[in-house]
């Protein structure tokens, strides 16, 4: 098979990929991955194994309790997980964002949780989206007020990955009024422990990304210690802004992982399945879509690699990160569609991973930020009027 792996990948990163592949091979053989997807479960043993291998702690310095590493390392791990079980990669990216936030944001007592999150002992979730608020996230309605020496939170979050499994949820809530019409001001991030009556969850069963364990979270006078504020009060958006570019690159990594796995399966099946006395891969109708897929995947990968190098060099890469998320997500949606067509009925069979890749690739079009909003951002960066 044509090798499109990044030729400049450092030896240590190559070793990291191999280690993660071996770990996933032991813990998540394909039958098990498909079972987890079918049943929509979170396998704590796999999570723990990822923690013990040091990959959950990537993105936070070792002194802070993380495993160090660069965005390129986290990207490589994200891709490898997504190739096997894309919805677990969603959980992985969520955990990585928490790591970065806690490490970057002078996170006070909340940062004490970092080593346990990195080891997999503590599971965390990130609560931003609400029933009426997705793309328009600055309109969120959950509140947190100071009362009797603690935070008291009220509101509802939805689509929260690992909501039901989490020991702590990083909740974005309004602590202060909108200032000067700037809705981004006055939002804060608070680490809310889940083992209290004020926090309840309800599982939302989805047609894709099932092992992400997506939940509604209800906060009814939920409490958190005052020093569980992450970073500066009222400045959630500037804290998140620091991690947003990385999140978009890692989201692109999920797309690259799904795309690669779907293309591998497309090619394998095309070589094995026969029709009219020859492998269907001999038919241009099956072969050319695979060729388009490898070309698109390689182009997306090149964009992502360039962006990773910019971020690692400390350069601003907001528009590039946005382009990574858009390009990889849209390419992968096409790649899984081509794979499904090549496999006919077998693509839809539960025992085939293609149906999982097909369903899971849908998320890559609208989360963590919708591709339409990415286009808005890029349009504005091109100097066109803001469209929303």
What residues make contact with ligand FAD under the rule CB under 6 A?
Answer: 90, 94, 125-129, 134-135, 159-161, 206, 209, 212, 214, 363, 366-368, 370, 372-373, 376, 388
Q: Residue number with the shortest CB distance to ligand FAD?
A: 134
Strands 187-193, 143-147: pairing is unpaired
Residue 238 contacts by C-beta under 8 Å, 6 or more apart in sequence?
232
Nearer CB in complex with ligand FAD: 265/373: 373
Residue 237 Rama label (left phi>0; alpha psi -120 to 50; beta): alpha
Q: What is the CA 121 to chain-centroid distance, rounded? A: 20
Of residues 193 and 344, the one with the C-beta less far from ligand FAD: 193
The answer to whether residues 162 and 94 touch, using CB atoms and an 8 Å cutoff, is yes
User: Nearest to residue 326, comparing CAs of 371, 373, 281, 292?
Assistant: 371
Rank residues 245 and 293 by Cβ distance to ligand FAD and give the closer one: 245
CB of 22 to ligand FAD, least distance (A): 27
Are the beta carbons of 191 and 246 closer than 8 angstroms?
no
- For ligand FAD, the closer CB: 39 or 63: 39
d(CA 97, CA 103) in angstroms, rounded, equals 10
- Tell the smallest beta-carbon distance from residue 63 to ligand FAD (Å): 28
User: In this complex, which beta carbon is closest to ligand FAD, that of residue 266 or of residue 359?
Assistant: 359
Least Å from the CB of residue 359 to ligand FAD: 10
Residue 141: DSSP 8-state: -
Q: Which is nearer to ligand FAD, 112 or 206 (CB)?
A: 206
Residue 321 CB, shortest distance to ligand FAD, in Å, is 16
| Cβ 166 vs Cβ 42: under 8 Å | no
Token digits of residue 86: 């894309």
* Gap between the Cα atoms of 310 and 319, Å rounded: 11
Of 189 and 363, nearer to ligand FAD (C-beta) is 363
Smallest distance, Å, CB 134 to ligand FAD? 2
Closest approach of Cβ 234 to ligand FAD, in Å? 19
H or E element that contains 28: none
CB 131, min distance to ligand FAD, A? 9
């Amino acid at each position: 098979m044509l090798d499109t792996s990044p030729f400049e990948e450092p030896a240590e990163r190559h070793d990291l990929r191999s280690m993660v592949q071996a770990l996933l091979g032991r813990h998540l053989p394909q039958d098990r991955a498909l079972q987890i997807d079918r049943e929509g479960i979170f396998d704590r043993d796999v999570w723990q194994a990822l923690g013990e291998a040091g990959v959950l702690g990537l993105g936070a310095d070792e002194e802070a309790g993380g495993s160090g590493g660069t965005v390129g390392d986290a990207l490589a791990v994200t891709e490898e997980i997504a190739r096997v079980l894309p919805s677990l990669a969603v959980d992985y990216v969520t955990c990585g964002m928490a790591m970065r936030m806690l490490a970057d944001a002078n996170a006070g007592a909340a940062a004490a949780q970092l080593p346990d999150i990195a080891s997999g002992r503590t599971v965390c979730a990130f609560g931003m989206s609400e029933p009426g608020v997705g793309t328009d996230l600055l309109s969120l309605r959950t509140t947190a007020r100071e009362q009797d020496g603690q935070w008291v939170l009220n509101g509802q979050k939805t689509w929260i990955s690992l909501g039901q499994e989490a020991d702590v949820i990083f909740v974005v809530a309004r602590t202060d009024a909108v200032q000067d019409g700037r809705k981004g001001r006055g939002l804060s991030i608070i680490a809310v422990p889940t083992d209290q009556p004020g926090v309840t969850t309800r599982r939302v069963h989805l047609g894709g990304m099932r092992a992400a364990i997506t939940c509604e979270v209800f906060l009814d006078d939920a409490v958190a210690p005052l020093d569980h504020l992450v970073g500066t009060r009222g400045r959630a958006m500037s804290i998140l802004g620091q991690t947003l570019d990385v999140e978009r690159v890692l989201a692109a990594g999920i797309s690259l992982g799904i795309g690669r796995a779907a293309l591998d399966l497309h090619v394998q099946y095309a070589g094995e399945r026969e029709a009219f006395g020859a492998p269907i891969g001999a038919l241009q109708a099956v072969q050319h879509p695979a060729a388009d897929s490898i070309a698109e995947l390689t182009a997306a990968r090149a964009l992502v690699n360039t962006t990773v190098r910019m971020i690692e060099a400390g350069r601003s890469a907001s528009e590039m990160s946005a382009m990574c998320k858009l390009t990889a997500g849209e390419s992968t949606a096409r790649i899984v569609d081509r794979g499904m067509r090549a496999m006919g009925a077998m693509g839809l069979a539960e025992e085939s991973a293609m149906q999982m890749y097909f369903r899971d690739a849908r998320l890559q079009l609208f989360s963590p930020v919708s591709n339409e909003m990415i286009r808005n951002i890029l349009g504005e960066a091109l100097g066109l009027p803001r469209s929303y």
